[in-house]
Amino acid sequence: MSIAVLGAGAFGSALAVALATRGPVTLWGRATGWGRENPRLPGVTLPDAVTVTGDLPQAARADTLLLALPAQKLGAFLADHAAHLDGKTLVSTAKGIDLTRLTGPSRLIASACPAATIAVLTGPSFAADIARGLPTALTLACADPGRGKALQHALSTPVLRLYRSSDVTGAELGGALKNVIAIAAGTVIGAGLGDSARAAIITRGFAEMTRLSARLGARPETLTGLSGLGDLMLTCSSVQSRNFRFGHAIGSGTDFDSGTTVEGAATARAVTRLAAELDEELPIAAMVARLAQGAVSVENAMEHLMNRPLKEE
């Protein structure tokens, strides 16, 4: 099985490094003039088994294409390049909900590339850890059990362990929604509200994640696995998480690099609109959407959440 990673950001480059221990990998990106060291992944040199190219048709000749692209850019990429992608096995690593269509990556791919086999690779992971060869476990979700098993074996390495699932919807929703809660957790810590408050946000945020995911057809057990609870724990507790750092900047009133992709900010807006359509109440996600847009202060957001009607857990 030949493999290419489309998207030469930190995560795409890290996946290429990890998969190169199994054999040749092609890494495609629009700007790849940095040679063997991606500035987004400092201290990591791409092994010789990784071929870096800016030629998409060349990269797309591989049997399996990992789409390591931001969630809000995936739709446009698919629209531009569907002719090169359709009929392939396409594995999305995006963690978000498209703002325009209010859907996850798998449906965007299915719409643009109806003949493709679709899978989702997600779970608790930082690019730097994967690139350094640190032990990492992820979820690989594919509705086709046979293809899912083949991908599981092809993409696993001695330090990158993949667990298989057929619940594509649950896997990608877990990865998307946890980013929203990570912003909330970062805000709590940045504002100096303490670890007890963070624990409450994580717990009640997880309840929102599971409630919305169930409405959209996900299996509850998927959300308690790596792609849901596992990823939530990681992103809500580490400054390596861009979503957590973004929330921390909001809470502390400090500047944040506007050039850094924060998937949870756009996803919070998409989730709020989706919840309204479903008549589903998601107070934390709704407040994160407002905080990310500067529409409410941290003090007012916390006051609103703490003064909601008392109820059973």
The pLDDT value given to residue 70: 96
CA distance 239 to 196: 18
pLDDT at 31: 79
- Other beta carbons within 10 angstroms of residue 77's beta carbon come to 18
The overall average pLDDT reported for the chain is 96
Backbone angles phi, psi at 311, to 5 degrees: -155, 175
Q: Is pLDDT of 283 > 90?
A: yes
Domain with CATH 1.10.1040.10 in the chain: 169-306
Q: Which residues are marked as active site? A: 178
Q: Is the pLDDT of residue 32 over 80?
A: no
When pLDDT is averaged across residues 60-73 and rounded to a whole number, the result is 97
Q: How confident is the model at residue 33 (pLDDT cuts 50, 70, 90)?
A: confident
Mean pLDDT in residue range 153-167: 97
pLDDT at 35: 82
Start and end residues for every CATH 3.40.50.720 domain found in the chain: 3-166
pLDDT score at 180: 98
Q: Which of 120, 154, 156, 152 is nearest to 136 (CA)?
A: 156
pLDDT at residue 274 in the model: 96
Residue pLDDT, tens place only, 161-209: 999 999 999 999 999 999 999 999 999 999 999 999 999 999 999 999 9
Q: How confident is the model at residue 264 (pLDDT cuts 50, 70, 90)?
A: very high
Report d(CA 29, CA 33) in Å as an integer: 10
Phi (first) and psi of residue 261, to 5 degrees: -70, 125
**With pLDDT > 90 as the criterion, what percentage of the chain qualifies?**
94
Q: How many CA atoms lie within 13 A of 96 on its CB side?
A: 24
Q: Domain 3-166: which CATH class?
A: alpha beta
pLDDT tens digit string along 104-140? 999 999 999 999 999 999 999 999 999 999 999 999 9
169-306: CATH topology is N-(1-d-carboxylethyl)-l-norvaline Dehydrogenase; domain 2 (1.10.1040)
